[in-house]
Structure 1
Amino acid sequence: EIYRQRRYALFLTGTRWADERRFGHITDARTTYLPYPAQETVANPNPPTTP
Structure 2
Amino acid sequence: MRAEIVLCAADGLTNVAIAERLGITRLTVATWRKRFAEARFEGLADEPRPGCSAQDR
TM-score with structure 2 setting the length: 0.32
TM-score with structure 1 setting the length: 0.35
| Greater helix fraction, Structure 1 or Structure 2 | 2
Larger Rg over CA atoms: 1
